[in-house]
Each structure stands twice: as C-alpha cells, then as structure tokens.
Amino acid sequence: MKQSIKDMVAQALSKAFQAGDLTSDDFPDITVDEPRIEAQGDLSVNTAMVMAKNQKMSPRKIADIILKHLDDPQSIVEKTDIAGPGFINFFMHPKAYHPVVHTVHEQNERYGASDMGTGIRTQVEFVSANPTGPLHVGHGRGAAVGDSVARILRFCGYDVQTEYYINDSGRQINTLGRSVYLRYLEKTGQTLTFPDDCYKGDYIVDLADQILARDGRALLDMSDEEGINICARFAADSILADIAEDLKNFGVTFDQWFSEQSLYDDGKVQEAMERLKSNKTVYENDGAFWFNTTAFGDEKDRVVVRSNGQTTYFASDIAYHQNKFARGFNQIIDVWGADHHGYIPRMKACISASGHDSNDFHVILVQLVSLLRDGKPVAMTTRGGVFETLKDVVDEVGSDAARFIFLSRHYESQLEFDLELAKKKTNDNPVFYVQYVHARISSILKKAADEKNIHTFERNDEAVSLLLESEETGLIKALARYPEVIETAGKNLEPHRITYYLMNLSSLFHAYYNKHKVLTDDPLLTTGRLYLILAVQKVIKNGLSLLGVSAPEHM
RNA sequence: GCGCCUGUAGCUCAGUUGGAUAGAGCAACGGACUUCUAAUCCGUAGGUCGUACGUUCGAGUCGUACCAGGCGCGCCA
C-alpha cells in the first residue's frame, strides 16, 4: 500500500518536472507515514516540505503540483488533501486494502516473514547462568527475550543458532562444591559455621541430602579436596539438568550448550592469549598480563592473566567470542543482565582486536525484574538464599503469562511483574486478552461448521469486496501493518513491538466482534467475514508463536 | 568522581527511527449480556513529555548542561 503511494508520487514528480512545473529533478526519498489522526487520512507524504528549499517554492505549492500530476489507474485513492504546512494526505478506498486479506491466506504462516537476513549467520547467546543455583525471574526475562529474538530473526530469514554458555570452569564450581560439602558434613553430625562466601540456598541442602543418599558416609573417608570435587561435579550436573528442565518448561530450548571448560581443555584460551601477546594487544606488567582495551575506547586496561598465573573470566570470554566468529557466525548477539553493562567496552575491544567488526557484535542488556505480589514487592536476595525462582513463577502463573509479561516492555525498561495480576483471567491480563481473540475465532469457526456447514475457505473476491464496515477496514489495515512490525522488531531486536501490535489487533477484533455478527443471513457476507477473521486468527497465532506463547482453540 | 540505562496521565508503559491536535492498559466514573464465549465492548475524565538552552520548516524523538532514580566502575565471577 505504502509502496503504491510511493510509486504514484514518484511518477507525479517526474511528470511534473517534464512539464516544467518543477525547477529541479533532484528529488528526495519519498517516505509514506500513517498519520495518527483519522482526519489526516490513511497515509501521508511529507515530500513537498522536504523539497521546498531545493525547488525554491512553498511546500503547499509543490503539493499542488504533485497532486496535479498524480495518476491513480486503479482508483485506490478515494480523496486527497493538502494539510498543515504541506502534507499530502491520502484517503484510501476501503477496497484498496482487500488484497491484504488474500495475501494473508496465500502466505499463511509465512505471512510477515522476510528475507532481510538471508545469508547472515547469527548466533544468539542467552541465559548462560552459572550452574550454581536455580534460575530466578531475571534469568526468565533474559530467556524470554533471547528466545523471542531468535524466533523473530529466523522469521526474517536469518540463519540463527541459539546457545547457552556454561560457566563451568574452576572457581565458582569449586565454591559450589564446598557449599554442598559443608552441608553434607553438617548432615553427618558435624557442627560448623557456614561461611558467608558459600551458597546458602535450600537447594544446597537438598543436594547434600542426595549425595548422602547415594554415597552414604563414604566422603568422610576422603580428603576435603576430594570430597569437594565429588560434590562439585554432582551438584553442577544436577543443577544444570534442572536449569535445562526449567527452561524447557518455559518453552526454551537451545541448539547448543557450550562449555567454558572445553575452551581450556582444547587450549583455546591459551591460543587466544598467545595470539594477542604476539599482537602486542596483551602485555605484561607487575607480573600480570593486561589487555590493551584502552586502545579501543575502554576506560582502563584489563587483566587477563593474574600474577598468580590464573586466567580471569575475561580471558575465557575472549577465547569464547573469537571461537564464535571462528565457527562462521557473521553476527553475534549476547543477552546480558543490565548489571553487566560495564563489560561491553572490553568485549567490543576484544572483538576489534581479534580482527572483527565490533558492529557485528550486539549486546541486549535486559533490565531487572521486580517481582510483586498484589502490588507489594517480593524479597529477592540471592545471597540470603531467599528468592523467587523461575520455576516457581512458571508453576504459579503458567509459561504463557510469564513470557508475555516478560515481553510486554522494552528490555531496557525495568519491569514490574505482579504475580497476582499474571494469574488473573480478566482484561487486566494482556495474555488472556490476546489469546481470547484466537479462542473466540475458533469458536465462531466451529459454529459456522456446525450450523452452516461451512468447512473450507477459498478465495472469494466477491465476498471480500463486501467488507466495507469501518471496523473491517480497520482490521485489514492492521493486518497490512504486520510485516512491517516484524521487520522493525527484527531490525531492532525488539520483541515488545509484536506484543503491542497483538494487543492492538486484539482490541480491534473485540470491538468488531461486539458490533457486528460474523454469521449473518447473507451467505456471501458471512463468507467474506469468516475469511477475514480467519486471517486475523492466523496473524494472532503467528505473532504469539514469535513470542513463544500458545494460541488456544478454546479457553 | 567517571561511565551506562531510565525519566511521558494517579499507576504500569508505548510512541511508526525528526512529522500535524502526544497514545494504550489499569485505577475512577457512567452505560451494554434473549448474543458467534461479558476472559468482551461503548462512553467520560485525566499531560508544562524531569528542567533549561540549542539544532530546523517542525523536537517526546537529535545535541549540550543540569536535576532525580537504577546499575556498573577489582590481579571477582
């Protein structure tokens, strides 16, 4: 639709120039907007204003000239108007939108898909929580965002791989093992003071119980180191399995689980360090090795190998991101918690120093989630061992509601997640509002089948041409916008645009439903309306699937 | 102190990448169920877009400074 207007205006411009009405043929790009206000038409063009300086004419006069030369062979434009400082407003004929309904049906679940990412291999890495404890709601938001971004990019034609990076090397795993080991010792009757730097959650005690059940008191005959080791391996495996399970119940699975330890085992970290040393990007000072990140805009240089010989987390991250590019990805997307934002400059530095374009590396910083119950904050301290896990939330409100709410805000906004609200089955809860549209339409289709014996839907131009109510035109216009919404969401990595779109489309549908009957006495009109709502249903289902939310047949 | 993010209706948030008279949901108030699902709809009310300059035909959107909140600034992960 926008393209048609664009072509028409472009043609008018060149005709006007040939006729001598314009002084310059240096024309700007024509952008077509949808005005917010109905009185300003369906589409508008600001070209006349943009051209004013160049043509040395007033915008309104240029607008006049454009309209004079405008051809509309298919008469899709009902009326035009010059308004304000020089906008040209187009009021489209309702029938101009009818082809959209056919397009939705023809393209089906591919409606809205594009090829803008064709040939671009993209990796989306998200969650990547340490296997030292269960996922909490913050991880849930990251999971929802990462998973949805991956789905959207795939739909936009990108070749996408999702990945979970497992921080399973040395230290934190050791702390985990020690925590479980100490709880184990307590279970066997020893009294001890539990250190502050150990994990205090109940799940640690559970893990100690499990080891006790499996190995009995056998660990008491070993050295502490050995005992800690056994506890560490058992606990990490067990927790990682739980994490995978929780994510699966949340509708999130990964193409790849990537172990940090494997980078050490395969010598990749060592390799990366040697390469950077020979580059002079990494240099020695005070017995430690430093990455020259300031040369790439960071505030200060960062240590990669400490003077005691141990590598830092940054070192393995460098190797990891080099490895990502080595695996052939052209574009790398990391989803991080907002508290890691200070890490971005050094990662960009590492990408650049490794000979890649730091513009191919995107970080989605997901802001914190504050969990509420009936409007009051739920305490969430990881250190103290009291927190709301993702599993608890998903068990309580369901995966659909949780995902939809996580994706109902821009990821850079802090999010308030009210548990009671998420469980409500009313208008307050946007998930049900959207899913209800899908269920309602299913219900109408069922009734059409049962009572009117209508089972199949084939293209019927005559029936669709009867869709002239303003609510119908509004719905079709919304359907027409969908591909553009997907494209913007993909380009900006912003799933919430789809969430908002779906709520808007749902609102239009509910209003239509309340005002007009779909199943009428007029068979042709009924056919047209069924065809329309079926298209709406397809788009709703499609959009929900990009968010990872189900589309129920009945509720 | 430095850096990043945020600041829009009473509350929670959008805002088509610089367009016209700034939107939605919730809360408040008033209406609509003999119905294809009332888990819905219709209406009313609600604003100095944190503040001040600047950029231009035009600023919620871009720039600078300040104010407020959150987060980050280790040879931690």
**What per-residue confidence (pLDDT) applies to A379?**
62
Per DSSP, the three-state class of A151 is: helix
Per DSSP, the three-state class of A160 is: strand
Closest listed residue to residue A97, CA positions, set A10, A34, A45: A34
**What per-residue confidence (pLDDT) applies to A41?**
85
Cα gap A85→A49, rounded to integer Å: 7
Cβ < 7 Å from strand B, A residues 414-433? 414-416, 425-428, 430, 432-433
Cα gap A263→A238, rounded to integer Å: 22
C-alpha angle A101/A105/A109, rounded to 5°?
125
Which domains are delineated in chain A? 2-92 (3.30.1360.70), 171-227 (no CATH), 427-547 (1.10.730.10)
Residue recorded with tokens 């141990």: A310
What is the biggest distance separating any 2 CA atoms in chain A, rounded to whole angstroms? 99
Report the sign of the C-alpha dihedral through residues A422, A425, A428, A429, in that order: positive
Q: For residue A381, is pLDDT > 70?
A: no
What would the pLDDT profile of A134-174 be if each residue is shown by its tens digit?
898 889 999 999 999 999 999 999 999 999 999 988 778 88
**What per-residue confidence (pLDDT) applies to A383?**
40
Q: For residue A184, is pLDDT > 90?
A: yes
Cβ < 7 Å from strand B, A residues 114-143? 130
What would the pLDDT profile of A217-256 be if each residue is shown by its tens digit?
999 999 999 999 999 999 999 999 999 999 999 999 999 9
What would the pLDDT profile of A254-292 be if each residue is shown by its tens digit?
999 999 999 999 999 999 999 999 988 999 998 999 999
Note the CA–C1' distance, A542 to B37, in angstroms: 22
Residue A296 CB lies within 7 Å of the nucleic strand B: no
Note the CA–C1' distance, A45 to B19, in angstroms: 10
Cα gap A320→A264, rounded to integer Å: 10
**What per-residue confidence (pLDDT) applies to A482?**
95
Per DSSP, the three-state class of A211 is: helix
**What per-residue confidence (pLDDT) applies to A385?**
43
Residue A459 CB lies within 7 Å of the nucleic strand B: no
> CB burial class (10 A; 0-12, 13-18, 19+) of residue A93?
middle
What would the pLDDT profile of A400-443 be if each residue is shown by its tens digit?
999 999 999 999 888 888 888 888 877 778 899 999 999 999 99
Q: How many CB atoms lie within 10 A of CB A519?
A: 14
Asked if A406 contacts A413 with a C-beta cutoff of 8 angstroms, the reply is: no
What would the pLDDT profile of A512-537 be if each residue is shown by its tens digit?
999 999 999 999 999 999 999 999 99
What would the pLDDT profile of A469-498 be if each residue is shown by its tens digit?
999 999 999 999 999 999 999 999 999 999
Query: What confidence category does residue A387 fall into, taking pLDDT thresholds of 50, 70 and 90?
Result: low
Q: Which two tokens stand for residue A317?
A: 């991250």
Report the sign of the C-alpha dihedral through residues A395, A398, A404, A409, in that order: negative
Cα gap A62→A55, rounded to integer Å: 8
Nucleotide of closest approach to A52 (CA, C1'): B57
Q: How many CB atoms lie within 10 A of CB A223?
A: 9
**What per-residue confidence (pLDDT) applies to A173?**
87
Cα gap A281→A289, rounded to integer Å: 10
What would the pLDDT profile of A32-84 be if each residue is shown by its tens digit?
888 877 778 888 888 888 887 778 888 888 889 999 999 998 889 998 988 87
**ipTM field:** 0.94
